[in-house]
């Protein structure tokens, strides 16, 4: 029943004190917040911490009826993510304090990141054209920007992005059903 409710309806029920709605919010938003964390924090454990802190703050705001428009729940969650990521970057020790305080509360089940066949991927990478392979290696070795790669290759950043897109598309095709 709760699965079918809209985000706004979930928010309204939480304001009314419905604990099942709180659990549904955590199940629904936890994995999405974790993805945001992976993108911005580049760390699974830091992303898990982010999930806890965002959910805690969102639930406290909803319980206190501080979200005026329930239709804006997603915006509120995203805004909270952004603020807490900034905060996490500023003060890592404060994060540890909060974790110690709230322990394992509000930990949603996270969708796992799928595992790939690394040997197959290596074979696929070797089938790329030389230029594509160099771009892939330089991009992923340590998140080199398109600008840095472009300087090495003596081409434009736009061209680097085109080469990278083509290579990724080929790799996804080569990896077949596993991607």
Partner 1 sequence: MDYWLGALPAADEDSVEQHLMVCDECGDRLRDIIALADSLRMLARSGSLQVIISDQLLERATATGLRIRAYAVRRNESIQCTVAADDDLLVARLAVDVSAASRIDLSWCDSGGVERQRMADIPVRADAGSVLCQQSITWAKASPTSTMTARLLAVDEHGGEQLLGEYTFHHTRTIPGPAGW
Interaction site with partner 1 (CB under 8 A) = 7, 29, 31-32, 35-36, 38-39, 74-75, 77-78, 111-116, 118, 121-122, 125-126, 129-131, 133-146, 148-149, 152-154, 161, 164-165, 168, 171-172, 175, 179
- Exposed / middle / buried, residue 3 (Cβ in 10 Å: 0-12, 13-18, 19+): exposed
CB 157 within 8 A of CB 168: no
- Minimum gap (Å) between residue 101 Cβ and partner 1: 26
Q: Tell me the closest approach of the beta carbon of residue 144 to partner 1, in angstroms.
A: 7
Closest contact distance (angstroms) between CB of 123 and partner 1 is: 11
Query: From the CB of 42, what's the least distance to partner 1, in Å?
Result: 10
Query: Smallest distance from the beta carbon of 31 to partner 1, in angstroms?
Result: 6
Q: Are 90 and 136 in contact (CB under 8 A)?
A: no
The CA-to-CA distance between both ends of the chain, in Å, stands at: 32
Cβ proximity of 88 and 46 under 8 Å: yes
Nearer to partner 1, 57 or 99 (CB): 57
Task: Give 47 or 95: the residue with its C-beta nearer to partner 1.
Answer: 47
Name the residue nearer to partner 1 (CB basis): 15 or 78. Answer: 78
d(CA 68, CA 138): 47
The candidate with the shortest Cα–Cα distance to 43, out of 88, 79, 87, is: 88
Report the residue number, 18 or 148, with the smaller CB distance to partner 1. Answer: 148
Which CB atom, from 67 or from 136, has the smaller least distance to partner 1?
136
Q: What crossing angle do the helices spanning 73-90 and 44-63 adopt, rounded to 10°?
A: 130
């Amino acid at each position: 029943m709760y699965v079918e409710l809209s985000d706004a309806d979930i928010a309204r029920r939480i304001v009314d004190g419905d604990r099942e709605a709180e659990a549904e919010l955590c199940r629904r938003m936890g994995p999405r917040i974790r993805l945001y964390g992976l993108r911005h924090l580049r760390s699974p454990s830091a992303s898990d911490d982010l999930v806890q802190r965002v959910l805690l703050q969102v639930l406290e705001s909803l319980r206190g009826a501080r979200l005026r428009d329930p239709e804006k729940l997603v915006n509120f969650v995203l805004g909270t993510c952004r603020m807490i990521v900034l905060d996490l970057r500023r003060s890592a020790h404060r994060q540890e304090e909060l974790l110690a305080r709230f322990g394992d509360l509000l930990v949603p089940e996270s969708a796992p990141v799928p595992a790939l066949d690394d040997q197959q991927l290596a074979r696929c990478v070797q089938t790329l054209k030389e230029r594509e392979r160099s771009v892939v290696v330089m991009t992923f070795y340590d998140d080199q920007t398109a600008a840095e790669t472009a300087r090495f290759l003596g081409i434009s950043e736009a061209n680097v992005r085109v080469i990278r897109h083509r290579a990724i598309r080929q790799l996804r095709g080569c990896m077949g059903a596993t991607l």
